């Protein structure tokens, strides 16, 4: 089969990668996508070791490769931190992570060179954003804030949590007043961007914008852009309960999705 007609595999610990997929569908509409949401094993960002995350990512990679992918997008910051290098060492398929994209978008959009990053505990503790941003520009000040409750709340349905506003405020209050931009360093967070915006009125950055651009460049460079010009609906494989995932994903994407439950 011609590589050009193969799929793009997108994966996350659960719902978060849907925010990346949405961007990819807008920017690269003629590609065929397969989405793997490991919600049966979520969260990745708290209570798991690097090795445990690597093991889960390897299982996902094998599934996506068996299903005819030409490139893999790790639509999860935590998995990128824990496993990008490991996966690159173990697989020959091109793999794109999201930390580099999030760092570049911060560099491009903060004139004061002071940014805050909302992320999981694992990502914050790794200093991945701080190190990557400062690799590009050592003058940047980066405040990494671990928003521990966000991901489980989003997976279960953000709106139904009575104290969601208080929890949100708790983390907004940790953002230093002199930053000029906030990076959403967990792919789950664009799902609650409207809520964040109501309490933080400076620039909010979604790394998926930059990742999508980089993926486009990579496909061109490798000469594997799908030239079919036919839109195909993405197919979703989820290890957790569909009754939580499906409505939130459909609401975010604005369309009905084809979805299957698979063992975790």
Active-site residue numbers? 76, 186
Window 132-151: contact mask with ligand DGL (x via CB under 6 A): -------------------x
Q: Which of 78, 103, 226, 248 binds ligand DGL (CB under 6 A)?
A: 78
Dist CA 195 CA 199 (whole Å) = 7
Residue among 121 and 180 whose Cβ is closer to ligand DGL: 121
Dist CA 132 CA 175 (whole Å) = 20
Q: How many CB atoms lie within 10 A of CB 152?
A: 15
Q: Which of 9, 37, 43, 102 binds ligand DGL (CB under 6 A)?
A: 43
Label the pairing between strands 181-184 and 33-37.
unpaired
- Only one of the segments 43-51, 134-142, 226-234, 241-249 lies at the binding site for ligand DGL (rule: CB under 6 A); that segment is 43-51
31: part of which helix (H) or strand (E)?
none
Burial letters 210-219, b for 16+ CB under 10 A, else e: bbbebbeeeb
CB of 66 to ligand DGL, least distance (A): 23
Secondary structure (3-state) at 8: strand
Q: Does 205 bind ligand DGL (CB under 6 A)?
A: no
Give Cβ neighbours of residue 263 (< 8 Å, ≥ 6 apart): 40, 239
Q: Which of 54, 103, 126, 187 binds ligand DGL (CB under 6 A)?
A: 187
Q: Does 12 bind ligand DGL (CB under 6 A)?
A: yes
Residue among 20 and 179 whose Cβ is closer to ligand DGL: 20
Residues forming contacts to ligand DGL in the complex (CB under 6 A) are 12-14, 16, 42-45, 76-78, 120, 123, 151, 186-188
């Amino acid at each position: 089969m011609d590589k050009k007609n193969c799929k793009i595999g997108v994966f996350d610990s659960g719902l978060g990668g849907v925010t990346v997929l949405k961007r990819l569908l807008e920017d690269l509409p003629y590609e065929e996508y397969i989405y793997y949401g490991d919600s049966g094993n979520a969260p990745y960002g708290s209570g798991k070791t690097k090795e445990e995350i690597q093991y889960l990512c390897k299982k996902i990679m094998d599934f996506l490769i068996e299903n005819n992918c030409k490139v893999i997008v790790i639509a999860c910051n935590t998995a990128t931190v824990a496993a990008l290098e490991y996966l690159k060492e173990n697989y020959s398929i091109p793999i794109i992570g999201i930390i580099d994209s999030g760092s570049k978008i911060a560099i491009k959009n903060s004139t004061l060179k002071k940014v805050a990053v909302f992320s999981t505990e694992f990502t914050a503790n790794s200093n991945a954003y701080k190190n990557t941003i400062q690799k590009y520009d050592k003058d940047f000040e980066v405040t990494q804030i671990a928003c521990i409750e966000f991901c489980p709340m989003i997976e279960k349905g953000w709106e139904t949590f009575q104290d969601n506003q208080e929890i949100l405020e708790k983390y907004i209050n940790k953002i230093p007043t002199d930053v000029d931009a906030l990076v959403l360093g967990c792919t789950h967070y664009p799902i609650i961007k409207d809520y964040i915006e109501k309490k933080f009125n400076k620039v909010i950055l979604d790394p998926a914008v930059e990742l999508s651009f980089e993926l486009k460049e990579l496909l061109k460079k490798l000469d594997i852009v799908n030239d079919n010009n036919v839109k195909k609906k993405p197919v979703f494989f989820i290890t957790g309960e569909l009754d939580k995932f499906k409505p939130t994903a459909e609401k975010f994407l604005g369309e009905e999705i084809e979805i299957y439950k698979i063992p975790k």
